[in-house]
Amino acid sequence: MIQRSAKRLSMRALVVDDELPNPTAEGRASRALVEELQARSVEVVEAASAQDGMSVVMSDSAIHAIMVDWTLDDDDGHVRATELLRFVRSRNAKIPIFLMAERGEASSIPIDVMEMVDEYIWTLEDTAAFVGGRVAASIRRYLEVMLPPLAAAVMKFSQVYEYSWHTPGHTGGTAFLKSPVGRIFFDYFGENLLRSDLSISVGALGSLLDHTGPIGEHEKYAARVFGAHRTYCVTNGTSTSNRVIFMAAVGRGQIALCDRNCHKSIEHSLVMSGGIPSYLVPLRNRYGIIGPIPPANLKATAIKAAIKANPLVPKGADTRPVYSVVTNSTYDGLCYNARRVEELLDPTVDRIHFDEAWYAYARFNPIYRDRHGMHGDPKDHTGPTVFATHSTHKLLAALSQASMIHIRSGRVPVEPALFNESFMMYTSTSPQADTMTARTLLAWAALACSTAPVSAQILPADRTTAWHPGVPGGVPPGASTRTGQPASARWRATTMPSPPLLPPPTSTTSCPAQSRLSRGEAQ
């Protein structure tokens, strides 16, 4: 028999009480509680001061319940205990907190403290067995509400210990146990990962193709978190998300307004759909940094003129664009005022797609308000239908290839059955459950965090000209020559009107913005 390598979910509690080591009545009561919890398989972390308690809370996210002594650090004013409670609640609204006090101290507990605490332990009155049982029960409830739908379903399924008779053919990792090299693989990745790599035929997990069961629930959950009317989870990166939207929106001979600095998946979609591109050309400054598409070029008159001058548009073709795509943030990390972009494009097009592959965190930090596709309250959405595509594996914590399509249906609503045909055309019938589980977990993490990495620069759409340096002639010594063009040519490319037919869009699979910003180059 191969020794256990699958890890069980553990339960862990933090007890913050300076009396714990003391041979006093309170110290003995706390110690009895610790021992009771340990007997119930709850691992206990002990902290002897408020400061120590804060350090544990900060460094250990696997704490599932906290017990705090009300007279912590011998402080009869209860300042230390209150500070610790505030600190915990500022980081976690849901973790169960038990306040340990003597019943006589009840009147000293103010309302704001009561609001932060879930339960009270009257240390010198309650029995350890009863209190220990309540703490363990609260940990179980906390673990249950913490897990988003698909993650909960995968973990529940793993506890049924079903044999795996279906795909994937490694059958829960057991195929790897038969050879030395397979065994190395098994030990390296771990049994849990392989056991939860399950087939679409596991009915308990639902279906990604028809959005049912826990998978459907997790898409609804993600829509709530990311502010969409509807969210689709995609298992082959935003390259695929972009294709799904494009192919659902654009038919042969129809016009698509494409950011010239788009990802290659947009180019591929043009080739596959037979759509006609009308490029929206962003600014580029003398340092070679890609700026935004100037607002003037997003106005209906400018777009009409560009389409009229576009030699790719055959005579007699319908000249109303059916779709537009804007890369947000730009490849150099500048974010649009998405609300303003919608206003500008509204008279021209019924579908606006913000390719936010590098920008999935925007909704979770107020500094990006209005600067991402799913801004504001989805209930208030009017105008064109808006799509946002997120590589959740890029700047959120999902596994590779995890991506999401978020939709806000507008005046030409998305028809779910039709859209799903496009979705299925690009979706494997064998999606990997681990990737999808990781995505729901990250949605939870995003919801739980009030701040997110700040890795993009903000640029209001109507301040684009201010960003433009406007100094004719060349690049200062030492400036980036990333474009490979002579400085003057590069400058002209940003200031002169673009020729009607541009070379294919500059496409890239990396995000220069991230590396440049991290080097502090793009100011």
Ligand X SMILES: Cc1ncc(COP(=O)(O)O)c(C=O)c1O
Contact residues toward ligand X (CB under 6 A) are 237-239, 242, 263, 265, 327, 355, 357-358, 391, 403, 509, 511
Which is closer to ligand X, CB of 249 or CB of 511?
Answer: 511
Stated length of the chain: 523
Which of 498, 452, 422 is closest to 241 using CA atoms? 422
In whole angstroms, the minimum distance from the beta carbon of 264 to ligand X comes to 8
Distance between alpha carbon 198 and the CA centroid of its chain, in Å? Answer: 23
Which residue of the chain is nearest ligand X when measured via CB? 237
Which is closer to ligand X, CB of 96 or CB of 237?
Answer: 237
For residue 344, give both structure tokens: 């500008």
For residue 62, give both structure tokens: 């696997």
CA-to-CA dists, residue 383 to 69, 167, 339, 412, angstroms? 55, 44, 11, 9
467 vs 344: CA distance, rounded Å: 19
In whole angstroms, the minimum distance from the beta carbon of 32 to ligand X comes to 53
- DSSP per residue, 54-80: HHHHHH-TT--EEEEETTGGG-TT-HH
CA-to-CA dists, residue 494 to 9, 22, 36, 94, 499, angstroms? 56, 73, 71, 51, 12
Which is closer to ligand X, CB of 511 or CB of 517?
Answer: 511
Q: Is the peptide bond before 329 cis (omega within 30 degrees of 0)?
A: yes
In whole angstroms, the minimum distance from the beta carbon of 259 to ligand X comes to 9
Which is closer to ligand X, CB of 297 or CB of 327?
Answer: 327
In whole angstroms, the minimum distance from the beta carbon of 64 to ligand X comes to 33
Which of 67, 68, 88, 65 is closest to 139 using CA atoms? 65
Q: At what angle do helices 237-249 and 264-273 cross, to 10 degrees?
A: 30
Which is closer to ligand X, CB of 451 or CB of 509?
Answer: 509
In whole angstroms, the minimum distance from the beta carbon of 391 to ligand X comes to 4
387 vs 245: CA distance, rounded Å: 8
In whole angstroms, the minimum distance from the beta carbon of 327 to ligand X comes to 5
In whole angstroms, the minimum distance from the beta carbon of 260 to ligand X comes to 13
Which is closer to ligand X, CB of 73 or CB of 259?
Answer: 259
Which is closer to ligand X, CB of 218 or CB of 263?
Answer: 263
